[in-house]
Amino acid sequence: MLNLYTRKGIEGSNPSLSAPRLKAPLAQLDRALDYESKGRRFESSRERTLPVLDVDERFMREALALAAQAAALGEVPVGAVAVKDGVVVGRGHNRREIDRDPFAHAELLAMREAAQVLGVWRLSKVTVYVTLEPCAMCAGAMVQGRVERVVFAAEDPKAGAAGSLYDLLAEPRHNHRVPVTSGVLAEESSALLKGFFQSLRSRRADK
């Protein structure tokens, strides 16, 4: 049963989350300038047609809590949970700076843990909740992993691959398409992202 803000598509070992806080690199500051230069950034621009299911908000709040943990560690605050049959089977938040790993995106970590917990690579009964629209890498992994559904909060007009910049999850040439629900708790996610980048700029200005 889906009760959507919007729906796109026609078919459809996680490391410790604790680590010493790191100083944010200049690359993150550059990204902040991209996202807050002008126009809307990290926001859902799609029309909301129906109220979101309580279950979507509940799991998105879990993802937002993980995003807040990422921010506390100096990472861009994005969090994700993978859910099967109403149970969280995978969790992740951004760890690229901590792990020095270009693949350590929240969604990929949550999906990796889900695959390990379930003992399968095919995540055909799994919904991924993530606080920011997936990038091309993560969207591609969702297609390859046969994820059943994706729910995200804020849009990413600079790198989003679930409808903003690309629409890989609904690409008709793929042999698997992933239905998408967007805009769930978008304001909370946007506020977390904007606050993080504002703090980065303030610290940079104080130096």
DSSP string, 38-75: SS--S---SPP-SPPPHHHHHHHHHHHHHHHHHHHTTS
| 133 in active site | no
Q: In Å, what is the CA distance from 150 to each residue of 100, 166, 183, 192? A: 26, 15, 11, 20
Q: At 178, is the secondary structure helix, strand, or coil?
A: coil
Assess contact for 79 and 93: CB atoms under 8 A: yes
Considering 43, 75, 97, 107, which one is annotated as catalytic? 107
Cα(1)–Cα(65) distance, rounded to whole angstroms?
25
The H or E element that residue 34 is part of is: helix 26-36
Query: Which among 103, 75, 104, 74 is positioned nearest to 92, based on CA atoms?
Result: 104
Assess contact for 118 and 84: CB atoms under 8 A: yes
Point out the residues that are catalytic.
107
